[in-house]
């Protein structure tokens, strides 16, 4: 069983529906309905980025757009959603999250994290 807040397998990590479900269960997703596409989504996203919580925001029923048109913002604004997205347990923050993320990326590509990044 995967750790709480970690996507269960690689295929699910690429499934936006699974990401939204996991973020919602962790309390890291807020839904916003009726915002305007011209300025409101950007303003709300900017204000969200300045808060302590910094949850992901799922905008739905956007003014002037057809039903079903949704916008997701703020997915990488906090350690919980970053770790969840990268398949890293949510106990990591700050430098520990960076180190764990780098190690996860290296292991995916078959690189030794001690050798440093290869670009």
Q: Are 89 and 103 in contact (CB under 8 A)?
A: no
pLDDT tens, position by position, 66-99: 999 999 999 989 888 887 887 776 555 555 655 6
CA distances 97 to 57, 73, 90, 113, Å, are 22, 21, 9, 14
Task: Say whether pLDDT at 117 is over 60.
Answer: no
pLDDT tens, position by position, 18-37: 999 989 998 999 999 999 99
Q: Are 42 and 14 in contact (CB under 8 A)?
A: no
pLDDT tens, position by position, 46-71: 999 999 889 999 999 999 899 999 99
Residue 38 or 93, more confident: 38
Residue 104 or 44, more confident: 44
């Amino acid at each position: 069983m995967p750790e709480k807040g970690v996507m269960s397998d690689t295929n699910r990590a690429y499934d936006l529906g699974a990401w939204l479900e996991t973020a919602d269960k962790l309390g890291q997703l807020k839904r916003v309905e009726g915002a305007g596409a011209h300025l409101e989504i950007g303003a709300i996203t900017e204000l969200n980025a300045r808060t302590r919580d910094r949850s992901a925001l799922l905008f739905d029923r956007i003014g002037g757009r057809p039903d079903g048109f949704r916008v997701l913002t703020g997915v990488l604004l906090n350690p919980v959603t970053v770790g969840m997205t990268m398949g890293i347990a949510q106990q990591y923050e700050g430098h520990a999250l960076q180190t764990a993320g780098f190690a996860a990326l290296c292991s995916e590509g078959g690189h030794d994290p001690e050798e440093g990044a290869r670009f």
